[in-house]
Every structure is written in C-alpha cells, then in structure tokens.
C-alpha cells in the first residue's frame, strides 16, 4: 500500500538505522532502471518535464540525477562505446525503437521479474528522469536518502509500486509529487516531504549557479555541498567503517571543509567526457599557468605524457598551508629527508620546477620487451623527464644518488633539463622540430584546456593496441576497444580558488 502521510514540520532530523540499500533497490530497482546499468539508463524513457531537483529538499548534502532520454545521437554513441553497434541495431535506435531493444538486453541478463513486462507494466507510466539526494540528519545520525522517479501516469505508477513493494511497506515509503514518485525510508518520509515543501533543491541558489557553470548536465550529473557532506561520517553510513576512521586518525577534529563540487558524464559520437567543477573550496593557493607548457612541445606521436605546471609554487603553497595543521609531521619528514641527503621542500620544488613533463615515445613497449635479463646497464628506452627548473640542483641530486653521467643521458638547454636513457630520444625532445602534441588534433580533442591546465595526463592508445586487443575474447568488448583513440585528463585551478577538471575518452580519428 502506498505510504501517504500528512506533512509534519521540521527538517530531516530523525535518526536510527534505515534500509538505504532497500530504498534504492526498491525505489529504483523495482521499476527496472538499475538492471540495465548506465547504458540502459541512458536509453530508457521518452518524455520531458521538470527535473528531479524540483521535488527533492533544498538542504541536500549530495545529489545525483540520470537523464534517461538524451538525444538519439547520444544513445547511439553510448552503444558504440559500450558494446559496438551493428547496422540493424543502429537502424532501430535511429528510428526511436530503442527502449524495446534495451529491455531485451535487460531480459537477456535475467534481471526482470518473470511476471513483469515492459510494454504492459513499465512503459505506460515510466518517465525520463531519476534523481537521488542524501540529506543530513544531525551529527552522528545516519543520513536520509530520497529518490525521485519521473512518471507520466502517477496512478499507474502507484498501482504498480503498491503491488510490487507491499512486502517492504514498513521500510520504504513513497508519495506522488507532480510528475515524480518520491521514495524515502519509511521513518524519514514525512520529514523529507515537509522539507521539500519548504524549499526544493531547484530553489537553492548555490546549486543552480553551480549547475549552470557546469553546462550540459549530460546523462548523469551530481552535486555536493562539501561542508554538509563532511558532517556525514563514514561510520554513520556503515558501522564497520568506524574502526577504519580510528586507524586513520579521522575520528577527532579535522580541518574545516568548505565549498561545493559538481560533475557530469556526457557522450558525443566521438567521446565520453567526465567534466567537473569546484566552487568556494578554500585551501592551497594554486598559481595560474603562464607560458607554454612543455607537454605541448612533445612530438605528436608521443604515447604517454604526464605534466605538472608551476609545480614549485604549488609545493611551497601546500607546505605553507599544511604547516599550520601538520607542522610537526612536516618537520619530521624534513628531518628524515635531510638525513638521506635531501632538502624539503626545496628539492621537491626543483624536481617539479616551473614546467615538468614525463613522456614515453611510441616505441616504448617494443623497447621494454627487448630489455636484456643479463645486461646490468640501464636500458635505452624512449622515456624522458623534462623540466624548466634549477637544472644545477637537479643535476646535483642525480650525481649524489648515483644517477648522473654514465647512467642517464642529460641535456641542459637554457634552463630546461632533459633526462633519459636513450640519447636519440633525449635529443629529439630537446631539439624539437616536426609536429608536436600542440599541433595534434587527437591531443587537442582529448585534453581539455591543455594551455591552462596545472596537470595533464595523456595516453595515445594506438601504440598499445597490438599487445592488448588479441587478449580480449569478447567480440563486443573488442569492437568497443578498437574504437578507442586516446585518453586525457586535465585540471585547472583558477586564481579565485575555483577549478575544473575534465577526463575524455576519445574515439579513433577515422
């Protein structure tokens, strides 16, 4: 029977141990949304309307939403990346007959109750969107969870849920609000409803501003108020984590957490992108990037690259910031480093410099496989460290640790040091010439904000395909992996302390 109760006053403050797992599985899984995973969630549903944030409480500490009806192009892109796409399936999806196809995939996995069919039991009432919010319940109390599921026929939805969830009525409740069925633990349902009537997440100025800055919410989006989320201890979610908190020293007073973050998962015909932003996060002051990052000057056929910009300034800023809270620990680390011949934080600043990049050339796998098991010398591999820094201090560190001349090849070109074990590769990086990553369309489409980012990771998959693809026996998985071109991660911290990060998985250029 549907749990429908009169509204009560007050915030969500009821404690106790509640069945969050049952709530999520019952409220979302019972309508067969979870069964198909993300790919299924992308493609189930067909209508528009308000988003779940319009019916969930304004004081949410964390929120996640799924849009189950993106564009047809996004649906096709999802299948291309996750499973491969044959012409027949592409035609069905393009013509809009994709929900039946997804249901068939879910049925094939055996995740559908035998007495439930999509056409008769789900399709008549299922909407396009779902959202879940975590709500603080007070210090030491288990947070409440509320799930909002969009419906296009509220009466039909309630009738189905009443039948399917009758055995869980004492643990999970739900009510109809506009175009959504809202679920929560039975103990917190009244408080959730009352809080939402006082104000919804869509009324929260910080939330709406952050989501606007995030841009396209994609197929999955999330948002968190970090200060509120920090008040929710891991042990309140799972008592077994209390010991881990104690062992990690997290049970006592910790530095104050501030700010908010938002993130989204987007798909296009050519890429999967996870993009996120942070707002109002106080902490280490990270300097903005200026000049040309060394990573953009690497050869266009570079296989792997990892770069850090303004690393020296970041190390000093972090050292100064954490000295206020962890002064004794940092001093102990500095003393131990000194005993080993290092000076902290100065030597770490020298290693990272103003711009630093680690790279591997396209022949790295072949070179590594040809390493002799009997030759004790350092093998000539197309890998290198390159940094604009205090080159004399870095050379001094290498020499004092037995890694100087005769072991590694080095070049100092007007304050930029290049180190490696392969003379030809070191010279090629130092002297340049030819196309660079900055000229490469694959690199620029894979790595967002490469000229501004403080950190970049880039992997060109092509040099590794011949080694891992033959090991993949599943035809669909291999089809998806064959489409993979490159992976890129970048992060940017702005002068104000706000920031953004992007991870992209890009398809082969065809």
**Backbone phi and psi for residue 456, each to the nearest 5 degrees, phi listed first:** -140, 135
What's the CA gap between 429 and 386, in Å, rounded? 8
| Stretch 403-419: mean pLDDT | 87
Of 39, 65, 193, 60, which is closest to residue 128 (Cα–Cα)? 65
Q: Are residues 377 and 401 in contact, defined by beta-carbon separation less than 8 angstroms?
A: no
Q: In this predicted structure, what is the pLDDT of residue 254?
A: 53
Of 45, 164, 152, 156, which is closest to residue 102 (Cα–Cα)? 45
Q: Are residues 173 and 23 in contact, defined by beta-carbon separation less than 8 angstroms?
A: no
Rounded to the nearest 10 degrees, the angle between the axes of helix 72-82 and helix 475-482 is 110
Question: Between the CA of residue 141 and those of 138, 255, 389, 401, what are the distances in Å?
Answer: 5, 21, 51, 53
Pick from 83-87, 294-298, 312-316, 490-494: least confident: 83-87
Q: Are residues 67 and 129 in contact, defined by beta-carbon separation less than 8 angstroms?
A: yes
Residue 476 has pLDDT above 70, yes or no: no
What digits encode the pLDDT tens for the residues 341-395? 899 999 999 999 999 999 999 989 888 877 766 766 667 899 999 999 999 999 9
Q: Which residues pair with 222 in a beta bridge?
A: 64, 263
Pick from 83-97, 182-196, 266-280: least confident: 83-97
Task: Write the CB contacts of 94 (distance below 8 Å, at least 6 apart in sequence).
Answer: 72, 76
Task: Write the CB contacts of 219 (distance below 8 Å, at least 6 apart in sequence).
Answer: 38, 41, 42, 66, 67, 70, 74, 78, 265, 266, 267
- Bond preceding residue 345 cis, omega within 30 of 0: yes
Higher per-residue pLDDT: 465 or 20: 465
DSSP state of 47: -
**Backbone phi and psi for residue 54, each to the nearest 5 degrees, phi listed first:** -80, -5
Pick from 93-107, 181-195, 224-238: least confident: 93-107
Banded model confidence at residue 216, pLDDT cuts 50, 70, 90: confident
Q: Is 297 helix (H, G, I), strand (E, B) or coil?
A: helix
Q: In this predicted structure, what is the pLDDT of residue 233?
A: 53
Task: Write the CB contacts of 376 (distance below 8 Å, at least 6 apart in sequence).
Answer: none
| Number of alpha helices (DSSP H) and beta strands (DSSP E) in the chain | 19, 16
Banded model confidence at residue 127, pLDDT cuts 50, 70, 90: confident
Residue 400 has pLDDT above 60, yes or no: yes
Supply the pTM of this predicted model.
0.80
What's the CA gap between 347 and 312, in Å, rounded? 9
Q: In this predicted structure, what is the pLDDT of residue 49?
A: 54
| Stretch 405-426: mean pLDDT | 90
Identify the burial level of 47 via C-beta atoms within 10 angstroms of its C-beta, where 0-12 means exposed, 13-18 middle and 19 or more buried. Answer: middle
Task: Write the CB contacts of 153 (distance below 8 Å, at least 6 apart in sequence).
Answer: 124, 125
* Dihedral sign for Cα atoms in the order 52, 201, 136, 38: positive
Of 507, 76, 484, 39, which is closest to residue 270 (Cα–Cα)? 507
């Amino acid at each position: 029977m549907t749990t429908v109760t009169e509204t009560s006053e007050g915030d969500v403050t009821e404690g106790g141990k509640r069945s969050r797992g049952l709530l999520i599985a019952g409220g979302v899984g019972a309508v067969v949304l979870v069964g198909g995973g993300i790919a299924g969630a992308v493609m189930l549903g067909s209508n528009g309307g308000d988003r779940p944030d319009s019916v969930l409480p304004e004081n949410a500490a964390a929120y996640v939403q799924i849009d189950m009806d993106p564009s047809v192009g996004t649906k096709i892109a999802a299948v291309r990346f996750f499973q491969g796409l044959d012409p027949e399936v592409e035609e069905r999806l393009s013509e809009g007959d994709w929900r039946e196809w997804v249901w068939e995939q879910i049925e094939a996995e055996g995740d559908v109750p035998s007495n439930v069919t999509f056409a008769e039991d789900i399709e008549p009432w299922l909407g396009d969107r779902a959202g879940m919010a975590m709500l603080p319940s007070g210090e030491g109390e288990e947070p409440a969870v509320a799930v909002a599921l969009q419906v296009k026929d509220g009466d039909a939805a309630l009738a189905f849920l009443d039948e399917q969830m009758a055995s869980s009525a004492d643990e999970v409740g739900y009510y109809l609000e506009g175009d959504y069925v809202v679920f929560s633990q039975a103990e917190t349902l009244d408080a959730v409803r009352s809080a939402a009537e006082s104000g919804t997440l869509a009324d929260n100025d910080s939330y709406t501003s952050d989501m606007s800055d995030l841009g396209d919410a994609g197929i999955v989006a999330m948002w968190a108020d970090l200060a509120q989320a920090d008040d929710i201890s891991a042990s309140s979610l799972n008592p077994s984590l209390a010991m881990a908190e104690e062992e990690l020293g997290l049970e006592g007073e910790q530095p104050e957490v501030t700010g908010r973050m938002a993130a989204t998962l987007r798909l296009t015909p050519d890429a999967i992108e996870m993009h996120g932003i942070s707002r109002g996060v106080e902490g280490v002051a990270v300097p903005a990037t200026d000049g040309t990052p060394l990573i953009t000057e690497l050869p266009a056929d570079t296989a792997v690259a990892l770069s850090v910009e303004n690393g020296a300034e970041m190390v000093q800023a972090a050292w100064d910031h954490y000295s206020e809270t962890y002064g004794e620990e940092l001093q102990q680390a500095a003393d131990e480093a000194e005993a080993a011949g290092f000076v902290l934080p100065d030597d770490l600043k020298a290693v990272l410099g103003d711009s630093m990049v680690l790279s591997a050339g396209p022949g790295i796998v072949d070179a590594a496989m040809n390493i002799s098991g009997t030759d004790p010398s350092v093998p000539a591999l197309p890998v290198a460290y390159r940094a604009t820094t205090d080159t004399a201090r870095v050379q001094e560190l290498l020499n004092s640790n037995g890694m100087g001349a005769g072991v590694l090849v080095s070049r100092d070109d007007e304050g930029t040091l290049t180190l490696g074990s392969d003379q030809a590769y070191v010279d090629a990086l130092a002297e340049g010439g030819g196309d660079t990553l900055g000229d490469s369309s694959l690199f620029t489409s894979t790595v967002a904000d490469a000229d501004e980012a403080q950190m970049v990771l880039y992997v060109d998959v092509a040099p590794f395909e011949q080694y891992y693809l033959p090991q993949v026996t599943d035809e669909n998985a291999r089809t998806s992996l064959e489409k993979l071109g490159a992976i890129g991660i970048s992060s940017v911290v702005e002068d104000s302390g706000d920031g953004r990060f992007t991870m992209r998985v890009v398809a082969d250029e065809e």
